[in-house]
A = this chain, B = another copy of it.
Amino acid sequence: MAHTHESGIMAARLEASKGYEEGGIPIGSVLVDRNGEILGRGHNERIQRSSPTLHAEIAALENAGRQKAEVYRHSVLYTTLSPCSMCTGAILLYKIPCVVIGENTNFKGDEDLLRARGVEVIIMDDQECKELMKRFICEHPEEWNEDIGEPA
């Protein structure tokens, strides 16, 4: 259950930590339905599965499986880091109305596009999210740049 934004971000942070422990990029995400139930959890799998598309948010959506349009339209997506253009587009595709973001200090994605298309965007400015992400970026700048489509 993730009845509050704090508990939703905590669940996303657990995924990020799991990714970090696996040697991966520590970004986590969960998709939560209207009743506060977690439908899907995921973390970035670039390194673990050599995947250029399994960002945390995509992984959470994938792990939630096929859902009806109505489910997405009453869900909240939690993510430890501001969503990139691809994950922003996935949120728009499924018309997820609310995105709660752990932090946007280490990376600011396409938040303005989300807002322009009517998505509620909540920034938690979470210290733990910031610290873990910052640590990874310092340790593995090349992998991080690859993940956001930037040259090494």
- Residues of chain A having any CB pair with chain B under 8 Å: 46, 50-54, 58, 61-62, 64-70, 72, 84-90, 92-95, 110, 113, 145-146, 148-152
What residues of B have a CB within 8 angstroms of the CB of A84 in the complex?
89, 93
Copies of this chain assembled into the complex? 2
Establish whether residues B110 and A69, one from each chain, have CB atoms under 8 Å apart when the complex forms.
no
| Closest A-B pairs by Cβ, 5 of them | A89-B89, A85-B92, A85-B89, A86-B89, A86-B90
Establish whether residues B70 and A61, one from each chain, have CB atoms under 8 Å apart when the complex forms.
no
- Contacts known (A70-B151, A85-B92, A149-B94); A53 close to B46, Cβ less than 8 A: no
State which of B52, B58, B93 has its C-beta within 8 Å of the C-beta of A149. Answer: B93
Establish whether residues B66 and A46, one from each chain, have CB atoms under 8 Å apart when the complex forms.
yes
What residues of B have a CB within 8 angstroms of the CB of A94 in the complex?
52, 149
What residues of B have a CB within 8 angstroms of the CB of A51 in the complex?
62, 66
**26 A-B residue contacts at CB 8 Å?**
A46-B66, A50-B66, A51-B62, A52-B67, A53-B53, A53-B58, A53-B61, A58-B58, A68-B151, A69-B145, A69-B146, A69-B151, A70-B151, A72-B149, A84-B93, A85-B93, A86-B86, A86-B89, A86-B92, A86-B93, A88-B89, A89-B89, A89-B92, A89-B110, A93-B149, A95-B149
